[in-house]
Amino acid sequence: MRIHLTIMLAAVSLLAISCCGGNGQKTAYPTAEWAALEQPLNFYLVNDTGRNGYYDQKPIAATMGQMAETIDIEFVVGAGDIHHFEGVRSVSDPLWMTNYELIYSHPDLMIPWYTVCGNHEYRGNTQAPVDYSKISARWNMPSKYYTFVKEEDGVTVRIVMVDTCPMIDKYREDTEKYGDASKEDYQAQLEWIDDVLSGADEDWVLVVGHHPIYAYTDKSESERTDLQKRLDTIIRKYGNVDMYLCGHIHTFQHISKGGIDYVVNSSGSLSRDDVQPIDGTVFCSNKSGYSLITASENELDLHMLDKDGNVLHTVTRTR
């Protein structure tokens, strides 16, 4: 009974925060501006969220719910690190409630979530996020890497979800902290990605991983160089990938290289202060937030949004 009461009280607290800002005042959301962004197919991109509701996680979750009352959001893409700091132990780990279920509790967020592992999931049991697909009606992670296609009003979008940790030597070699990384056959995954992209002929093709291929960061440069020589060569091979989407750095970054838009999505809970332009940078920001992606037959837009849903920058692809 005590456990049930605690969960009920937490849910009530979250409901109050979803209606009000951190100071108890009702947030004035830019709903008119949101309505103008809607296209036939609309979805969210989030990552680096799992902070048990602290920092900006609750306000961002509330904004996502409010926006979904205005825009018809079809699904959510989670680019890893849904669980800080040591991943999860099992499908019954309490972090599923405090990092996810009780945070993203708005009725309009009860939609499919498609996720991959980040480096923090790799500190725990990486099979648990896969198995949680059998527990939650909205959590979708059939394997460590997979692809799916969404269609709405004749608009098709293919999303290729990739598992970047095993592609990076740093994680495979640290068997004490990231025990599952060395167990994955990343060469087999690269062959699978090549096969999927070789036949991808949808209107728009997006590849989603946790780690950036290009980004400004003080994290180990080998993280990016490993992905540049392994993953990026395949992404560029067929000329049909529009965007590579990732997280990990906790800042917004839009980098354009070789006809592809490389997007680093900021943290959905706690951003970092330091971000600077690098070669190819179109935009960067240290704000926390999430992204709204909208697609029509002739245009694909990724809107970087702050915690109150204000558009900071838009990445646009046309054809």
Residues in binding site for Fe cation:
48, 81, 119, 210, 248, 250
Contact 140, 129 (CB under 8 A): no
Which bin fits 122, alpha (ψ -120 to 50), beta or left (φ > 0)? alpha
Tell me the C-alpha distance between 83 and 95, whole Å: 7
Q: CA-to-CA distance for 291 and 303, rounded, in angstroms?
A: 5
CA distance 253 to 43: 19
- Give yes or no for a contact between 210 and 248, defined as CB atoms under 8 angstroms apart: yes
Per DSSP, the three-state class of 143 is coil
CB within 8 A of 4, min separation 6: which ones? none
Tell me which amino acid residue 265 is: N
List the binding residues.
48, 81, 119, 210, 248, 250
137 CB-contact burial (10 Å; exposed 0-12 / middle 13-18 / buried 19+): exposed
- The CA distance from 80 to 122, in Å, is 10
Spatial CB neighbours of 190, under 8 Å, sequence gap ≥ 6: 167, 230, 231, 234
